[in-house]
Amino acid sequence: MLNPKLPPYDIGEWQKKPFPERVKMVCQSWALQGYGTPAAIYIVYVLKVVFYVWAWSFFCSFTTGLGDLSAFGSWYFEPIAFQKAVLWSMAFEAIGLGCGSGPLTGRYNPPLGGALYFLRPGTMKMSFHPRLPLLGGSRRAVLDVALYILYLAVLFRALFAQELSLELLLPPVIILPVLGLADKTIFLASRGEHYYTALVVFLFAADWIAGTKIVWVAIWLWAATSKLNYHFPSVVAVMQSNSPLTNFGSIRKRLFRSYPDDLRPSTLARVMAHAGTVVELSFPLVLLFSDGGTTTTIALATMVLFHTFITSSIPMGVPIEWNVIMVYGAFVLFGHYADVSAFSISSPFLIAFLVFSVILVPLIGNLVPSRVSFLCSMRYYAGNWPYGVWLFKGDSSKKLDEHLIKASPRIQDQLGKLYDDATITAITSKVLAFRAMHLQGRALHQILPKAVDNIDEYEYLDGELVAGIVIGWNFGDGHLHDMQLLQAVQEQCGFEEGELRCIFVESQPMGRPTMAWTIADAATGVIATGKVDVNDLRDLQPWPDAASWPNSGAGASSRA
């Protein structure tokens, strides 16, 4: 449970290397070891899925004839069973038990954030707009906590009900958007783009099956569309080099062009990426237009294999339960109710809502990603995410513990109760490798030297880790640790000029070749902005070129 797979080099010697050499070494380590997670941790994640499914069956048991898992085949397709699966998933995620929990998201002690933050006044929040009356600001008020408790209360009231009615479904539909205005983190953590959209559809009793089919298909198709880029092959290489099922050096080496000196994705990784995209584009369309029979059976089998492949890879962020409900939903909606056409929706209000939520919002998010969360844009797994890097001079990150109310201490302090300093450095260095090995991470080769004069004087923290400890949830959305969070942190921590520098990189818009970036100082604000051409990154290795890197001497003081 506690023994990670450590890099094959002495950490003390690694720390003394120049920054480009350190990045190269840790990327080579990732290629064969992945994150190095102890094998038993995967069992914990499996047990969490078992609990998720059992708890759902428990809530279903309050309806006569449902809930017995030994007789699953006789009731899984009942409308209330499916609707309770969505309600339970919303609650499960909002509490912090789902995506973004455990060691694979940088959470060790405690292993979750979520409710530990959302129930505590004074913790940091990310309001839709800081100046909103009552709901604005950057610190959680008693009203915010009360709204969150009310949100969970109405979800569990529906879960314990024998039957679901409009009066049980409508309250969470009303409360979650209000809660999202107060703290968009909770809306995203509840997977609002998926579960909330489905919940609204449930309000239309005559059309809910057809409408939910549209939601499921939209998620698959937008996710596949977002993979039509140069980023996704790197995602496959990085994810599979971390998969517990590919824990063989010979297999993992084949994911890269020429291990250890060329870690760009290999032909195998590119073929896997493109084949996966074709599959994800194909089976939803077959399910959408077929009405049962052999074609539906083949498409459902393909869908199961697709999600099994993703889930068995245990991707960072661990959206495992989300994959489970996608599979379950597919069998209910397109298997049992294959005869219900997705195009049979009669309510113009539902049609308008779906056009807005699953067409217009994702389209805007793909064309103008700075305006929409990558979750609401449905750009899952694409490798084309907004991200940030926070650079703390010396040990100034201690100010986060000294000035902020939060449930989680700094990562090194979480791990300090379990490991020695060398092991802690080895574990946290893998996050640097994860970012660098994705195509978008290579933009840092150009940006880091502009942000600080000497990287060796700074502690390098990925924005994901910062969001996890400061706001209680992180799941790949760089908009949760951007300028808004930096300004809120600065208000409470008061960093001196040069003490905290941040790099924010926006994702690549659909149809355009560049990614925008911003460098900001906590004390003085934006220092520089620019764009990087993604085409220029394709020929680069995950590590910077040592010959052109400034201050390329020994890096004994670096904390990256």
Give the pLDDT confidence score for residue 557 in this predicted structure: 38
Q: Tell me the two tokens of residue 211.
A: 């409408």
Q: Tell me the two tokens of residue 264.
A: 């760009």
CA separation, residue 282 to residues 274, 289, 323, 334, 387 (Å): 12, 11, 18, 14, 30
3-state secondary structure at position 229 = coil
Q: Are strands 387-393 and 458-462 parallel, antiparallel or unpaired?
A: antiparallel
Give the pLDDT confidence score for residue 553 in this predicted structure: 52
- Burial class (CB within 10 angstroms; exposed 0-12, middle 13-18, buried 19+) of 10: exposed
Give the pLDDT confidence score for residue 313 in this predicted structure: 86
Q: How far is residue 505's CA from residue 483's CA, in Å, rounded to a whole number?
A: 11
Strand partners, 123: 405
> Which ranges of the chain have pLDDT less than 70?
1, 249, 551-560
Strand partners, 500: 392
**Dihedral of alpha carbons 487, 492, 494, 498, sign:** negative
Q: How far is residue 68's CA from residue 75's CA, in Å, rounded to a whole number?
A: 9
Under a CB-based contact definition with an 8 Å cutoff, are residues 109 and 473 in contact? no
DSSP annotation string for 481-518: GSHHHHHHHHHHH-PPTTTEEEEEEPPPPTT--EEEEE
Give the pLDDT confidence score for residue 556 in this predicted structure: 40
- Reported as a single tens digit per residue, the pLDDT across 339-378 is 999 999 999 999 999 999 999 999 999 999 999 999 999 9
The answer for residues whose C-beta is within 8 angstroms of residue 518's C-beta and 6 or more apart is 483, 503, 504, 526, 528, 529
Q: How far is residue 444's CA from residue 423's CA, in Å, rounded to a whole number?
A: 25
Q: How far is CA 27 from the centre of its chain?
A: 21
**pTM of structure:** 0.95
